Structure 1
Amino acid sequence: MAARDRWEYQRPRTGSCKIAADAPAFILTERGKPYSDKSFTGKFSAWGKAAGITTQCSPHTLRFAAARRLAELGLSLKVIASITGHDSLKEL
């Protein structure tokens, strides 16, 4: 089973994202361990500040920016929802 498939399988329909315990991590801490949701959000924000981004920077804003760019490219809402992991078009 691919990592994305394991993630989709484990993701509850509440909108929160839970990664399967055995899913491989591809972004690791300095100690080689997977980030927790909270620590990754904090680190992501710090990376944004270090890159000179002055507006809010979080995984969610990246997801929003990706959805917006896909819309600008002319993709349908259904395709955008599928790519960004939204369960319904109402979430876009």
Structure 2
Amino acid sequence: MHDPLVIGVDAGATTSRCVISDLNGNILGRGAAGGANQNSSGAPPGEALRRALSEALADARADPARVGLGVIGAAGAAAAGREAAGSPP
């Protein structure tokens, strides 16, 4: 069995980036897509995140089932938890 992989995502307003690494921090794959800010990006954030992650997995030639850990930093995250960004708190 293979060791788990780790994903890191920078979900920015204009560009989203994803890296996949092993537990030692060696970068195995990279992916990028458009912005994932619900308030200012043109497309739905989930689509940009899916595309960036898919690219990184393909670049690493990694089985998605191996991803065991991850972290995401998201622009516009102040709206998290609301039904729609821009809704009154």
Which of the pair has more CA radius of gyration? 1
If asked which structure has higher relative contact order (CA below 8 Å, sep 6+), I would say: 2
TM category, shorter? under 0.3
Q: Which has the higher strand share?
A: 2
TM-score by length of 2: 0.27
TM-score by length of 1: 0.26
